[in-house]
Amino acid sequence: MQRIAIVDPTESTRESLRTLLLGVDFVWLEAECARYEYFYDVINQSMPDLAIVALDADKNRALQMIGQLAVDYPRLPILTISHDHQALLQSLQKGAKYFLTHPVGLEDMLSALRRALGDASHSDGSSSGSSSGQLGVAPRQSGAAIMVAVLGSRGGVGTTTLAVNLAATLACEPGNGVALVDLDLALGDADIALEVNGIENISIADLARNIERLDMNFLRRALVKHEATGLAILRHPLEIMEMGVIHEGHVERILNLLKISYSHLVLDLSKSLLPTDLMAMRMSDVILLTAQLELSSLRNVVRLIHCMGSEEGLAEKVRVVVNRVGAESIEEGISLKKAEEVIGKPIFWQIPNDTKPLIAARVAGAPLIKHSPKCRAQLAIAGLAHALSGKAGTGSSAELKTKRGFGLFGRR
Ligand SMILES: Nc1ncnc2c1ncn2[C@@H]1O[C@H](COP(=O)(O)OP(=O)(O)O)[C@@H](O)[C@H]1O
Ligand SMILES: [Mg+2]
């Protein structure tokens, strides 16, 4: 999927251009801009694979901006559109490489896109020489984030705690751009665990309602930034009733867009196995299934893995994370070894019970990495983040063991 940014100050033609591009399955409309003077910044932030400039609203301004783009982003292909042949010629002189005359039909657009994007990928395999944008978005290699879904085996096992702290830990790693998506649509509370000051009250429900207009600019306005870590958060709907407007197709589209702009996505799922959760799991590289060493949680782990087995590719991605290891009040005398026997799968990770720092961090609305970076739970989560950063589902290293020896694949 290749990403496109367009600029056209005239609303009606911009809308037809958008509609045209929505019908092309190999491109993604990354950014849409209504002012020539803002387009340079849009390109700088979104680093698309192709820029499309409609010239007719103000040819002089458009040509001047193309000249500047061509100098600063010499590898960015620019496609211009106009009624005016003279203006199209001038745009080529300024540095545009492709043009189309108004009105543009789908066939013309398709062949221009194939040419422009094909040429760009043959020239050096990437469209831009510049680094990341200004919003904490990591440089993209091969264009896709590592996507980690976090699923609970029942309420209260620590799913949100894991999702939030894993995401915050990944976000603190230099070079990463991380987004946390609260897909616990009815009862999500990631925004409580991580206190954020929402400037705009846009939630995932608003994105779903306006899905045809969704581009990276709109999506960025909905993402709340956690200043201390740089983590971007997409919140659950503000009203529970709104969850009905969010369908799996919306989730697919939103995640696809996030995927090309961030290095890591962490998804806090609901416990209801809704179609939205299934879509998120389908799209994820790894599914962390959070459990505790007690009967109802472990039984649900077995049931969930069994249920996922009915769809190809899901169960293989599941990694069981046992949380609150060492909490005697919870564990009912079940050992990790016994749990592995019951589940029929190795325990991928263990997070020790660490009540004090977790309560304190939660009260402060801060992630452990900022509140108690040395606590045992955070050390275990940092080890998990490390393992997931390389290649999802792989990676283990003895030094990642926590102080009490609750390490990778380790047993008590
Ligand atoms: N490793 C841990 N040690 C101590 N308390 C924990 C740990 N993990 C989670 N908790 C606590 O358990 C409670 C439930 O966690 P939460 O993440 O909200 O669960 P879920 O999202 O699965 O419903 C929270 O109060 C949280 O602070
Ligand atoms: Mg939760």
pLDDT digits (tens, 9 = 90+) for 272-322: 999 999 999 999 999 999 999 999 999 999 999 999 999 999 999 999 999
Tell me, using a 6 A CB cutoff, whether residue 62 lines ligand 1: no
Atom number in ligand 1 closest to CA 353: 3
Provide the residue type at 24 as one letter.
V
How close is the Cα of 158 to the center of ligand 1, in Å?
4
The whole-number pLDDT of residue 196 equals 80
> Where are any strands of DSSP class E within 40-93?
50-54, 78-82
Biggest CA–CA distance in the chain, Å, is 81
Integer Cα distance of 386 and 399 in angstroms: 11
Nearest CA to ligand 1 atom 14: 156
Integer Cα distance of 64 and 41 in angstroms: 15
Confidence band for 390, pLDDT divided at 50, 70 and 90: low
Integer Cα distance of 93 and 363 in angstroms: 60
How close is the Cα of 176 to the center of ligand 1, in Å?
26
Tell me, using a 6 A CB cutoff, whether residue 69 lines ligand 1: no
The whole-number pLDDT of residue 5 equals 95
C-beta separation of 193 from 277 below 8 A: no
Q: Where in the chain is the domain with CATH 3.40.50.2300?
A: 2-123
Tell me, using a 6 A CB cutoff, whether residue 271 lines ligand 1: no
The whole-number pLDDT of residue 63 equals 96
How close is the Cα of 159 to the center of ligand 1, in Å?
7
Flag whether pLDDT at 169 surpasses 90.
Answer: yes
Integer Cα distance of 14 and 110 in angstroms: 17
The whole-number pLDDT of residue 150 equals 98
Confidence band for 265, pLDDT divided at 50, 70 and 90: very high
Which residues lie across from 233 on neighbouring strands? 180, 224
Confidence band for 179, pLDDT divided at 50, 70 and 90: very high
Confidence band for 411, pLDDT divided at 50, 70 and 90: very low
Flag whether pLDDT at 396 surpasses 70.
Answer: no
The CATH number of 146-400, from 3.30.10.20, 1.10.260.40, 3.30.870.10, 3.40.50.300, is 3.40.50.300
What phi-psi label fits residue 68: left (phi over 0), alpha (psi between -120 and 50 degrees) or beta?
alpha
Integer Cα distance of 292 and 153 in angstroms: 8
Q: Provide the angle, in degrees to the nearest 10, between the axes of the packed helices 85-94 and 59-72.
A: 20
Of 99-108, 163-172, 217-226, which has the strongest mean pLDDT? 163-172
The whole-number pLDDT of residue 191 equals 87
Integer Cα distance of 367 and 390 in angstroms: 22
Integer Cα distance of 406 and 376 in angstroms: 9
Tell me, using a 6 A CB cutoff, whether residue 118 lines ligand 1: no
Flag whether pLDDT at 109 surpasses 60.
Answer: yes
Confidence band for 353, pLDDT divided at 50, 70 and 90: very high
Flag whether pLDDT at 117 surpasses 90.
Answer: no
Tell me, using a 6 A CB cutoff, whether residue 159 lines ligand 1: yes
Tell me, using a 6 A CB cutoff, whether residue 268 lines ligand 1: no
Tell me, using a 6 A CB cutoff, whether residue 324 lines ligand 1: yes
Q: Where in the chain is the domain with CATH 3.40.50.300?
A: 146-400
% of the chain exceeding 90 in pLDDT? 60
Tell me, using a 6 A CB cutoff, whether residue 292 lines ligand 1: no
Task: Show the tokens assigned to 182.
Answer: 């609260």
Provide the residue type at 63 as one letter.
L
Flag whether pLDDT at 391 surpasses 50.
Answer: no
How close is the Cα of 396 to the center of ligand 2, in Å?
27
- Give 233-261 pLDDT, tens digit per residue: 999 998 899 999 999 999 998 998 888 77
The 3-state secondary structure of 124-186, one letter per residue? CCCCCCCCCCCCCCCCCCCCCCEEEEEEECCCCCCHHHHHHHHHHHHHHCCCCCEEEEEECCC
Task: Indicate the range of 152-156, 222-226, 322-326 predicted with least confidence.
Answer: 222-226
Atom number in ligand 1 closest to CA 362: 27
Residue with tokens 């696809």: 256
Confidence band for 268, pLDDT divided at 50, 70 and 90: very high
% of the chain exceeding 70 in pLDDT? 87
Integer Cα distance of 101 and 161 in angstroms: 54
Q: Provide the angle, in degrees to the nearest 10, between the axes of the packed helices 275-283 and 248-259.
A: 30
Task: Indicate the range of 93-102, 172-181, 222-231, 328-337 predicted with least confidence.
Answer: 328-337
The whole-number pLDDT of residue 393 equals 36
The strand pair at 78-82 and 98-101 is best described as parallel
Ligand 1 pocket test target in 161, 191, 236, 353 with most atoms within 8 Å of CB:
161
Tell me, using a 6 A CB cutoff, whether residue 270 lines ligand 1: no
What phi-psi label fits residue 67: left (phi over 0), alpha (psi between -120 and 50 degrees) or beta?
alpha
Listing from the earlier edge strand, what are the strands of the sheet with 224-226?
Answer: 224-226, 231-234, 178-183, 264-269, 146-152, 286-291, 318-325, 347-352
DSSP 311: S
Nearest CA to ligand 1 atom 16: 158
How close is the Cα of 160 to the center of ligand 2, in Å?
4
Instruction: Kindly report the CATH number that applies to the domain delimited by 2-123.
Output: 3.40.50.2300
Tell me, using a 6 A CB cutoff, whether residue 188 lines ligand 1: no
